[in-house]
Structure 1
Amino acid sequence: MTQRTRLRWNGDAALRGTRAGAIRGLRLGAEHVLAESRKRVPIEEGTLERSGVATVDEQQLTAAVSYDTVYAVRQHEELTWRHDAGRTAKYLEGPMTEEADTVAQIIAAQLRRSLRG
């Protein structure tokens, strides 16, 4: 007995879905890192914390987390400054490193979701 199966491959749609999943994953991953870094950012008036943003370049498939005050870099790099409990220098670098596996899982989950259709 012969059994036949016909498969129609719609590669363009699969690539579009995968790209959309990657973009969604990047956005969620960047938002996750932003949330974690906000827990550590030095806080006096909250200006630095409020300046944090997560962005995604959909063309390049890259994401970024940044803080935009004139003192953001100095606060990040100055290891000798004292901060309130739980607040620290390297408030972005720490979460970026520590949450890398979680971010990869977030992106992978969105890619899987996009492939399910």
Structure 2
Amino acid sequence: MSRARLRWNGAAATGAIREAAARGLLLGAEHVLAESRKRVPINEGTLERSGGASVDEQQMTAAVSYDTPYAGRVHEDMTARHAPGRSAKYLEGVLPESTGEVQALIAAQVRRALR
């Protein structure tokens, strides 16, 4: 009869999974940012360059934002005319389209941590 010994390091595993999920969240937020930058209305490029992605590792949430005084107004103004491919709702429109990619990025990081 053979014997096997198993040592469970639950706390270490949980920590590694949380770190991996946070990395995946950041990658996902950066993906959403990159896709939204393709739609941001461009005049001088300031709005596009002001975009950023961040992660709150304690809350396990990610954020994508544009930091100009007029970012919100440009995002919400559905009556403004923009160059082809550029539009209002440049961030909001990308979110539902990117869900699968974001989930895949997070899952890939967690899988790597579990190896």
Quick check: TM above 0.5? yes
- Tell me how far 1:17 sits from its aligned partner: 0.7
In the alignment, does 2:23 pair up with 1:3? no
Measure, in 2, the Cα distance between the counterparts of 1:27 and 1:73: 22
1:56-98 Cα shifts (integer Å, max 9, x gaps): 0011111000001111111111111100011001100111110
Residue pairs, 1:37-116, within 5 angstroms: 37-116=36-115
Secondary structure, in 3 states, of the residue corresponding to 1:90?
Answer: coil
Measure, in 2, the Cα distance between the counterparts of 1:45 and 1:88: 15
Measure, in 2, the Cα distance between the counterparts of 1:97 and 1:74: 21
Q: Which sections of structure 2, spanning at least 5 residues, go unmatched?
A: none
- Tell me how far 1:3 sits from its aligned partner: 2.5
- Tell me how far 1:10 sits from its aligned partner: 0.6
Q: Which runs of 4+ in 1 moved over 3 A?
A: none
Q: Which sections of structure 1, spanning at least 5 residues, go unmatched?
A: none
Q: CA RMSD in A?
A: 0.7
Percent of pairs with identical residues: 68
* Aligned residue-pair number: 115
Measure, in 1, the Cα distance between the counterparts of 2:8 and 2:65: 40
Measure, in 2, the Cα distance between the counterparts of 1:94 and 1:34: 12
Measure, in 1, the Cα distance between the counterparts of 2:100 and 2:76: 24
Measure, in 1, the Cα distance between the counterparts of 2:42 and 2:6: 58
